[in-house]
């Protein structure tokens, strides 16, 4: 691995505005250059080939201490994923969320602390869903998730209408690895690989060591098999 230092002026037309504000040069550009391996972190959308198989890996219930390992691997294999995060963890893992976005991944809303949304009053829904939107916005300098995954997949027409009314697309999954139940990396890895197919949304959790081990192997091997690993929004754009 070779690290290079690049004059910011050379990056002016490839960096988004958030990285080029003159008064934030030092804070934002320096860590970006330090961590960013240019050839391995294309922005999502720029490099997707619609004619090539693609799927979305999704990581629920974080962020957690293991999330950076997933981000490292996504970077190495020029891939992206979606993280459905819990609002109560957002402040603690603010730096991880910022890194998710900086590296082109997507953040989705997964409620504040994982209740079944079907059991909630309107005020309860506001706390769980809008409270999490606000926390993510505060932690990331204004990023607003556009997708929401109800905990347990627990939804009904009222929940779905509520989400839509707040600009959120309800996003479930095609493949449940049951990784929270079977804490065995080989088993979880096998389920991911066996179910991988074009257009699939695969659910794992980035809070269990076994799940993260499985995901690291799967990211590598799915790439080797020729899959593009894209965010949920990109998948919906091309395969929705």
Give the integer Cα–Cα distance in Å for 159 and 96: 29
CB of 167 vs Zn ion, minimal distance in Å? 21
Q: Give whichever of 50 and 153 is closer to Zn ion, judged by the CB atom.
A: 153
Q: Of residues 61, 205, 206, 208, which has the active-site annotation? A: 205
Q: Closest CB to Zn ion among 104 and 106? A: 106
Task: Catalog residues that contact Zn ion under the rule CB under 5 A.
Answer: 60-61, 151
Catalytic (active site) residue 60: yes
CB of 164 to Zn ion, least distance (A): 20
Nearer to Zn ion, 54 or 97 (CB): 97
Q: How far is the CB of 61 from Zn ion (least distance, A)?
A: 4
Is 91 a residue of the active site?
Answer: no
Closest residue by beta carbon to Zn ion: 60
Closest CB to Zn ion among residues 60, 206: 60
The nearest distance, CB 64 to Zn ion, in angstroms, is 12
Q: Could you give the residue numbers annotated as active site?
A: 60, 205
């Amino acid at each position: 691995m070779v690290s290079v230092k690049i004059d910011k002026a050379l990056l002016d037309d490839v960096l988004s505005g958030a990285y080029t504000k003159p008064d934030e040069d030092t804070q934002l550009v320096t860590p970006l250059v330090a961590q960013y391996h240019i050839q391995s972190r294309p922005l999502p959308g720029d490099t997707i080939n619609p004619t090539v198989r693609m799927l979305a890996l999704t990581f629920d219930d974080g962020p957690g201490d293991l999330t950076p390992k997933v981000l490292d691997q996504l970077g190495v294999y020029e891939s992206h994923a979606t993280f459905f995060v819990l609002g109560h963890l957002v402040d603690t893992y603010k730096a991880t969320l910022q890194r998710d976005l900086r590296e082109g991944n997507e953040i989705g809303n997964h409620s504040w602390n994982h209740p079944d949304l079907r059991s909630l009053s309107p005020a309860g829904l506001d706390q769980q869903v809008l409270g999490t939107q606000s926390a993510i916005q505060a932690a990331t300098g204004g990023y607003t998730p556009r997708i929401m995954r109800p905990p347990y997949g627990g939804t009904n027409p009222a929940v779905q209408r509520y989400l839509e009314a707040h600009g959120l697309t309800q996003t479930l999954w095609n493949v449940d690895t049951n990784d929270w139940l079977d804490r065995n990396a080989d088993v979880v890895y096998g389920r991911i690989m066996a179910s991988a197919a074009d257009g699939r949304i695969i659910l794992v959790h980035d809070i269990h060591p076994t799940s993260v081990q499985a995901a690291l192997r799967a990211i590598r091997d799915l790439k080797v098999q020729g899959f593009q690993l894209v965010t949920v929004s990109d998948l919906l754009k091309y395969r929705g």
